[in-house]
Amino acid sequence: MLRTQYNLSNFKGRKLTEFIKLQLMKYYRFDRQFNLVVSECINNSDITALSKTNLVEVEIKISKEDFLKEFDGKSKIKATKHQRYNNGKKYNKYIIPSYFYFCTTKDLAPFIKNYLKENGYTNYGILVCCEKRIFNKRSHIEVYKQANKLNKDVVNENVIEKVYKRLQSELISLKEKVLIYK
């Protein structure tokens, strides 16, 4: 296994976000052995990971401003999402994941942890993308704060179908990019 080390300061903006997405996909698929991992899927999350019984949603935040936008109230969709995730009620037409995480860099993690604690989002977890890969792992992701379960329901067929369709779309788009830019 090739041991890779990255200088995260070489990645900025969108490139950093895409690097973290890749690391999260490797983390959930290889390190955690989840069945399916896709981007931009359930509730338009950056990463959706699906095991036999759990649905995990991950939002990537690379700056304080980016993180605070999640809660500033300007986006009615995000405000509703966090209200629903935090109160633990079931909603017929809204998919609430089993676990919700923010993924960030090591320097931003304490700020996010304090904000979540002070504002009552104690069930949310935090993942950190590190420069060095963790020994015996394929990703650069480590758990900074473990999430608590938001939803005790087993993942249903409708959710599984949505994730499979998104996975197929990602594969088709990737093949198209490879063909066009080759």
At 94-125, the pLDDT tens digits run 788 999 999 999 999 999 999 999 999 999 99
Average pLDDT over residues 46-58: 94
Question: Are the beta carbons of 117 and 141 closer than 8 angstroms?
Answer: no
**Given this model, what pLDDT does residue 1 score?**
41
According to DSSP H, which parts of 41-156 are helical?
Answer: 64-69, 76-87, 109-118
Indicate yes or no: pTM above 0.85.
yes
**Given this model, what pLDDT does residue 128 score?**
96
Identify the residue whose tokens are 């990602």: 170
**Given this model, what pLDDT does residue 2 score?**
46
